Chain A
Amino acid sequence: MNLPVSEVKAAPSATARTTFAALWRPALVQAFVKLDPRQLKRAPVMLVVELTAIFTTLLCLLPSDVPTGVSVQIAVWLWFTVLFANFAEALAEGRGKARADSLKAGSQGLNARRRMASGEFEVVPASDLRKGDVVRVDAGEMIPGDGEVIEGIAAVNEAAITGESAPVIRESGGDRSAVTGNTRLVSDWLLVQITSNPGESTLDRMIALVEGAKRQKTPNEVALDILLIGLTLIFLVVVVTLQPFAHFAGGSIPMVFLVALLVTLIPTTIGGLLSAIGIAGMDRLVRLNVIARSGRAVEAAGDVHVLLLDKTGTITFGNRRCSAVHAAPGITARELGEGALLASLADDTAEGKSIVDYLRQLHDFTPPDAAHLVPVAFSAETRLSGVDFGAQRYRKGAVDSVLAFVGMQRLDLPAALAREVDRIAQSGGTPLLVCVDKRLLGVIHLKDVVKPGIRERFAELRKLGIRTVMVTGDNPLTAAAIAAEAGVDDVLAEATPEKKLARIRQEQNDGRLVAMCGDGANDAPALAQADVGMAMNDGTQAAREAANMVDLDSDPTKLLDVVQVGKELLVTRGALTTFSIANDVAKYFAILPALFAAIYPQLGVLNLMQLASPQSAIVSAIVFNALIIVVLIPLALRGVRVQAASAAHLLRRNLLIYGLGGLLVPFVGIKLIDLALNALHLV
């Protein structure tokens, strides 16, 4: 069931290769299926190419000045142009579909036990379930649809969706009440209220995002489509009016050549790859185990100005860890280390373990045999923990508790130690005193540890112009300290759901786009208000419904990856559009002298590439036009990488590569094709 998922997770590069081998055959078949004009309608530029291909094929049958061999070659390459574009789309679809199909397979023939008005249960196909229906699921059964647990507690294996094989607990009420369709109950039973109609479930959404024919175009894609149609219209006008102009000049241009000119001028490169780019972008998201409600949200992620990130779990590990120890005056580091280690050995909490880990790295201790140690557990009364080792009592705890234990007043604390304690508290950390009997050994610095690498990611985001705001329930002092360490730009301390919502609204009123992630039911309003709201899969149903994305791994740092995917999607489209339009210059220099050779031979000067003959010039241009689509398929599927850099830097770099490159590459490409065509005596 979860095979494809774990494969992807285990060895992405290896699977990428095998998937390609497995995918290209069906994609080839699909390329022909997609020739159906009803399907091609979604890519208007390619529809125009197909119409010209049909027209040219008919022209081949009519007598003309152009040798039939040349006409046939032009017609064939026009068909190839459409097929290549279809192939690109089919390939992009195939990758996502493979995963969707395996998921779909699980839901085939699934039955559910639906509660009737009488309170009894009837068995119905899962596909008949509607929003509001209540079903009972027992151990070993599949949950028939997305829903919310209204009664019971059970372990659920969500591997089919998330790829995580460890079962998770789902129970009614609280923040862990949401279940996903097609996941398996491994223990107990649940009553689930279905929350989505057929076709609206998480799974359905996932499938819809990667299927070209059902995919909704994203706003930028729609805008780009309009521009491409506009350019196509302009070039249509240019080509159609050329014949009267040629007649006025006393000549005539063969129809086949005009068709070739039209197809080379209209933006076929981007027009052919646009759909593949969009599908591949969604597929990248699915690979990240993030499900978007719509492509619109993914695009919006690229536009985000502000990220609202919860401190706990996103920026920090969520539990305090030992980060330093400071000895009291007159105590050596080793003495303190040994004392603190002993005091923590029996402490099973994450904090205690972190102290042991920290000290073991620092010093080379051999702790005494556990048999000699009498653990003293934390009690509400003493608020201390530690061990008795022989006659010696090792204790650690909050400052006041330890002082009480050693019988000291706060003011009696040695000055050096007191300073250290204050410093730790002010930096947002927690000071723990360590003592052996009545002797103070020193202080342990516990703090909320910032995840490694998060600071660098924030720095990258800042370079892209995205501000990060840390949201936390901590007091402003603690919050500021952690914020400074994590390198976030701003802090929302003592945050409540209302404060979060107000902050989002305020940013939006200033014209900024806000992204946030959350899981609790009280996050739902903020998630709904944010332009990009990502809910955790293990969160509440309310949060999942309010958000426009769900992270199946429940990893809040994913938001950063989603932003990256959104940006890559936009950059890839922009880069290929620029490339496509820049290509036209070289194509003009190839075709115009060829078209007008009979009317004004002096225009041969424009034949900069010194192409052998008018026929070979035109065929070369059309071959280049078709092949460039194939060459760019990998780029379209992979996406253009977006490095962390300022807008000006990105623009300069991409203009240089795709603008200037687009201007120059076809000069070389067309010339090479012309040499090859003539060497093979094809024209």
Chain B
Amino acid sequence: MKIGTFVRATGIGLILLFAVAPILVLILAAFDEGRFFRFPPRGLSMRWFIAAFESAEYRASVTRSVVVASLATVISVGLGGLAALGLVRGRPPGQAYLEALILAPLALPLVVWAIAFLQVLSYSGLGGTLFGLILAHVIITLPIAMRVILATFTRIDPDLEAAARSLGATPVRAFLRTTLPLARGGIAGAAALSFLVSFNDVVVSTFVAGAGWVTFPVRLYAQLRGEGIDPITLAIGAMIVGVIIVGAIATELWPRRRGR
């Protein structure tokens, strides 16, 4: 019994360590004063964080990534949410096929899909535009958002809306007052996933973005292949991790003040 507990604790500890280790390496290395990526760091310094804020090029690429990811998130959660609602409550004929169709883009290797989509974009004259880039991101984030929200809606009793209607709420109001607040957690999760997938995407953006819309991960990848690791990117990475941790803690605390 004791030994079993010990083995299990060690196992869980090792798994967590492996999950967190790269992030720790990234953060520690970002504070190193050296001009090259090395681990463990030898002297602490904030110079790369300062350099990150001073580099117009990196600032612009991060901003671009945030803009693209935000728009892709809003669109995919909006449309994905509506699609999920239609699939769950509308019970259309061929529901399973419709669901599979929306998930289809995820079935191909992204590289293959991106090459094909690039052709579609250039035929329609959208190659190299922000709209084209966002469209590409939406097509890969929407299925994810839809799937998460679909699972959330499926768990919510449709009689809640029926009860609201029998109490005098129009169908839209019934949805807004019952299903939507109950689905908030799932929708937030879908938004977070969509944002991260879009924000971190290299493959699709590399093909679709064109010179005008180089996102942060694309910029990073180009840098890596050309000149090796730039410590500025480590600092930016560490800051992104910081933002995510703060965001995660905030959403953890969020539901507590909900209630009566």
A and B from one complex: no
